[in-house]
Structure 1
Amino acid sequence: MTNRPFQVICEIEPPTRPDLMHVRHQIGTLSKVADTFLVPDNHIGRATVSSVAVAHEVEAMGGRSIACLNSRDRNLLGFRRDLLTAAAYGVDRFLFVYGDKPASGNRTGDLNVRAMIEEVRTLPQDAAFAGTPPFQVGTAAGLRPLPAWKRAADFVFVQVSFSLEALLRWREANPVDVPVYAGVMVLASENHARRLAAAIPDIDIPGELVEKVAADRDAGVEATCEQILRIRDSGAFDGVHLIPVTRYRQVAARLEHLLR
Structure 2
Amino acid sequence: MANDAFRLICEIEPPTRPDLKHVRHQIGVLTPIAEAFLIPDNHIGRATVSSIAVANEVRAMGGRSVACVNSRDRNLLGFRRDLLTAAAYGVGEFLFVHGDKPTAGGRTSELTVRSMIDEARSATDQRAFEGVAPFRIGVTAGLQRTLPAWKQAADFAFVQVSYSLDALQRWRDANPVDIPAYAGVMVLASAAMAHRLRSTIPDIAIPDALIEQVDADPAAGVEAACEQVLALRATGAFAGVHLVPVGRYRQVAARLEAEHL
Fold in common (TM above 0.5): yes
Determine whether 1:235 maps to 2:236: yes
Q: Which residue of structure 2 aligns with residue 98 of structure 1?
A: 98
- Find the aligned partners of 1:253 and 1:224 in 2 and give their Cα distance: 13
Unaligned runs of 5+ in 2: none
Q: What is the CA distance between 1:7 and its match in structure 2?
A: 0.3
Question: Given residue 24 of structure 2, which amino acid in structure 1 is its aligned partner?
Answer: R
- Find the aligned partners of 2:82 and 2:200 in 1 and give their Cα distance: 28
Q: What is the CA distance between 1:105 and its match in structure 2?
A: 4.9
- TM-superposition CA deviations, 1:158-202 (whole Å, max 9, x none): 000011111111111111111100000000000000000001120
Identity %: 69
Where does 1:80-91 land on structure 2 (aligned, <5 Å)?
A: 80-91=80-91
Normalization by structure 1: what TM-score?
0.97
Question: Given residue 109 of structure 2, which amino acid in structure 1 is its aligned partner?
Answer: G
Q: Which residue of structure 2 aligns with residue 218 of structure 1?
A: 219
Question: Given residue 231 of structure 1, which amino acid in structure 2 is its aligned partner?
Answer: L
The total of aligned residue pairs comes to 257
- TM-superposition CA deviations, 1:127-147 (whole Å, max 9, x none): 111111110000001111111
Determine whether 1:175 maps to 2:179: no
Q: Which residue of structure 1 aligns with residue 139 of structure 2?
A: 139
- Find the aligned partners of 1:125 and 1:22 in 2 and give their Cα distance: 37
Q: Which residue of structure 1 aligns with residue 112 of structure 2?
A: 112
Question: Given residue 237 of structure 1, which amino acid in structure 2 is its aligned partner?
Answer: F
Q: SS state of the match for residue 124, structure 2?
A: helix
- Find the aligned partners of 1:179 and 1:146 in 2 and give their Cα distance: 13
Determine whether 1:12 maps to 2:12: yes
Where does 1:240-259 land on structure 2 (aligned, <5 Å)?
A: 240-259=241-260
Q: What is the CA distance between 1:204 and its match in structure 2?
A: 0.4
Question: Given residue 5 of structure 2, which amino acid in structure 1 is its aligned partner?
Answer: P
Where does 1:23-38 land on structure 2 (aligned, <5 Å)?
A: 23-38=23-38
Q: What is the CA distance between 1:259 and its match in structure 2?
A: 2.4
Normalization by structure 2: what TM-score?
0.97
Question: Given residue 180 of structure 1, which amino acid in structure 2 is its aligned partner?
Answer: A
- Find the aligned partners of 2:260 and 2:72 in 1 and give their Cα distance: 37
Q: What is the CA distance between 1:125 and its match in structure 2?
A: 2.2
Unaligned runs of 5+ in 1: none
Deviating runs (4+, > 4 A) in structure 1? none
